[in-house]
Structure 1
Amino acid sequence: MTETTTEIISTKLNPNVLPHLHIWEWHIPLYLFLGGMAGGLLVITSIMIVLKRRFGIGPRDEGDGCPCLAVRIGSILSPVLLGVGMLFLFLDLAHPLYVWAFYTTIQPTSPMSAGSWILIAFFPLAVLQAMLVNKKFLRERNIGIVNKLIDWTEDHLTPVALVNAHIGVGIGIYTGILLSFFSARPLWSSSILGMLFLVSGISSAAALMLLLAPDDEKPTYSMIDANAIWIELVVVGLFVLGGITGPANSSGAMMHLIAGDYQMAGLSYMIWFWGIFVALGLLVPLLLEFLEAAGVHIKFPQVAPVLVLIGGLVLRFLIVFAGQTYHTFM
């Protein structure tokens, strides 16, 4: 064997060198989906609280300072979903017992370090908001420390909501930035990925609230979801266009996603992307919500939000898996 051949095998075609191994499995897409939806719920509920308290816009409050039912449920689900998502992230760690090491340093240029510290701010403020909007129920439980905390902060719900809106945006963008910093994987190396995951998370959150809201509140969340889908379609178009017109590696990776025959669960990436995500996850729900807003009776109104949730989940699986199965620099 010649020296040249040895060099090629040992440093170029070695699978430990080229980044096309499946390092991240199903745990990560689920974490990204639940984290994005948790951030979206925090954004929507926080903005709804501010709009109602400052401008009187939105569904009717329940009284005693408690917002409408969907806002109260969404505020509870936001930290719960992120907690479940972080459980999947914890299961994916090679050394889960050393997770505390994230909080021994601050690395602003590291998305994982920045995300870890954002999560520290997320949970206490999100839980506090959930307590404040559900204070009527909590006071009936007569838990001493909970009542004291509510008494101390109940007049500051609007500032808490304003801060939470920004934290929710940060969490939503972080789920995309976490991938986009991996420049060795050209499909992920896109600055618009953070915006795509943020808008998708808001759309998924609106769809979930649409499913849970009573009938008199549903039009509000249907409108939020429809507008989020419009924006998501634009961002998806920019993401695809940016990949196709980029360098050879970026173009090849994007074609691997949108036109490749590599399969996931028995279907090619192309079918998953255009058929499941774009068509069923975006276009069909947008059409159904537009028709419903126009006064057309939809026999099964739950179909649209369910499709949005499926599309949001499929997007994460596609991006994570296709980014790892593309053989870069070959």
Structure 2
Amino acid sequence: MTETTTEIISTKMNPNVIPHLHIWEWHIPLYLFLGGLAGGLLIITAVMIVAKRHFGIGPQDEGEGCPCLAIRLGSALAPILLGIGMLFLFLDLANKFYVWAFYTTVQPTSPMSAGSWILIAFFPMAVLQAMLVNKQFLRNLNIGIVNKLIDWTEDHLTIVALLNAHIGIGIGIYTGIMLSFFYARPLWSSSILGMLFLVSGISSAAALLLLFAPKHEKPIYSKIDANALWIEMIIVGLFVLGGITGPANTSGAMMHLIAGDHQLAGMSYMLWFWGGFVALGLIVPMFLEFLEAIGVHIKYPLVAPVLVLMGGLILRFLIVFAGQTYHTFM
């Protein structure tokens, strides 16, 4: 009796079949960061406009219905930052001349299609809000159509602001959900990414407002940021725990992120995650803002918001790059 041995050679892991290079490079993390930041700015400013108008809560207005400086600045920055983020997304596209195709079809099950239409809603609504809160400057230009748009928005301010708050939430969640639909990337295959990126965007937005707000406005943004940070820490814990206790692929991908030896800019993922993101981007600024809240003067008060913004950016780079460098379906 003759025994036959058959050797099966699989080429699935050949780089020409499933490349383990960075298909998405630096453009995408920057887009995700700026998109989340813009969404967070729209949420905070819209909610504060409604809270001030209906409940009298928030920093004092500057007269004639003109909100405080941070609200005016945040409302203006939201569409600008998202526009810059979309420029990075455009630069990453392989076939740039076909970008219009995103806006000629509706695919309810596609996060990219849904995200495209949320972006369409974002810009006009965010611009209307930005025009209204900066109406003192714009009315001096005496442009007829601009004045009419401001008048219309002022008459429907509550509706516009509430819609903007929901649109901002949609943008923030979309930046994470877009990744979670890539099931072939185990690190991304988690629905909690949407909530993580949303809360991170709100925290980053509060930190940005904290940087530019006058001294008497800073406490409210510090409190928003501190609350967002501890919620973000809980979500990060759930994200890590869910990955470790998941299937072998998911567990391996999470360990690749939190204990892996792959490097980002010369430093291992593990050091970036625990040192750059968790310690410097979450724990340290939350502690500093807690000290400010209880009346302890911080010598360098801008350190906390700068660390929060750096942590939000590091998070996006880590998730995008670690998700691509882990071998799929080992």
Per-residue CA distance 1:67-92 (angstroms, 9 max, x = gap): 11100000000000000000000000
Question: Is 1:115 matched up with 2:96?
Answer: no
Q: Which residue of 2 aligns with 1:319?
A: 319
Q: How far 1:14 moved relative to its partner?
A: 2.5
Q: What runs of 5+ residues in structure 2 fail to find an aligned partner? A: none
Q: Which residue of 1 aligns with 2:51?
A: 51
Q: Which residue of 1 aligns with 2:137?
A: 137
Inter-partner Cα distance in structure 1 for 2:148 and 2:33 = 35
Counterpart residue identity of residue 10, structure 2: I
After superposition, residues 24-43 of structure 1 pair within 5 angstroms as 24-43=24-43
Q: Which residue of 2 aligns with 1:261?
A: 261
Q: How far 1:120 moved relative to its partner?
A: 0.5
Q: How far 1:64 moved relative to its partner?
A: 1.2
Counterpart residue identity of residue 14, structure 2: N
Inter-partner Cα distance in structure 1 for 2:7 and 2:193 = 39
Q: How far 1:298 moved relative to its partner?
A: 0.4
SS of 1:246's equivalent in the other structure is: coil
Report if aligned partners of 1:19, 1:184 keep a CA contact under 8 Å in 2. Answer: no
Report if aligned partners of 1:28, 1:89 keep a CA contact under 8 Å in 2. Answer: yes
Inter-partner Cα distance in structure 2 for 1:57 and 1:16 = 58
Q: How far 1:8 moved relative to its partner?
A: 1.1
After superposition, residues 247-286 of structure 1 pair within 5 angstroms as 247-286=247-286
Inter-partner Cα distance in structure 1 for 2:21 and 2:260 = 18
Report if aligned partners of 1:19, 1:328 keep a CA contact under 8 Å in 2. Answer: no
SS of 1:8's equivalent in the other structure is: coil
Q: How far 1:19 moved relative to its partner?
A: 5.7
Per-residue CA distance 1:208-254 (angstroms, 9 max, x = gap): 00001000000000000000001000000000000000000000000
Counterpart residue identity of residue 167, structure 1: I
Counterpart residue identity of residue 58, structure 1: G
Q: Compute the TM-score of the two structures, normalised by the length of structure 2.
A: 0.97
SS of 2:311's equivalent in the other structure is: helix
SS of 2:113's equivalent in the other structure is: helix
Q: What runs of 5+ residues in structure 1 fail to find an aligned partner? A: none
CA RMSD across the alignment: 1.2
Report if aligned partners of 2:118, 2:170 keep a CA contact under 8 Å in 1. Answer: yes
Q: Which residue of 1 aligns with 2:68?
A: 68
Inter-partner Cα distance in structure 1 for 2:14 and 2:114 = 32
Q: Which residue of 2 aligns with 1:86?
A: 86
- Which is further off, 291-300 or 16-25? 16-25
Counterpart residue identity of residue 108, structure 1: P
- Which is further off, 303-312 or 12-21? 12-21
Q: How far 1:150 moved relative to its partner?
A: 1.2
Q: Compute the TM-score of the two structures, normalised by the length of structure 1.
A: 0.97
Inter-partner Cα distance in structure 1 for 2:64 and 2:117 = 34
Q: Which residue of 2 aligns with 1:179?
A: 179
Question: Is 1:245 matched up with 2:245?
Answer: yes
Q: How far 1:17 moved relative to its partner?
A: 3.3
Counterpart residue identity of residue 169, structure 1: I
Q: Which residue of 2 aligns with 1:299?
A: 299
User: In the superposition, relative to structure 1, how do residues 242 and 224 fare at CA in structure 2: closer, same or farther (>3 Å)?
Assistant: same
Q: Which residue of 2 aligns with 1:20?
A: 20
SS of 1:216's equivalent in the other structure is: helix
Q: How far 1:144 moved relative to its partner?
A: 1.8
Report if aligned partners of 1:19, 1:327 keep a CA contact under 8 Å in 2. Answer: no
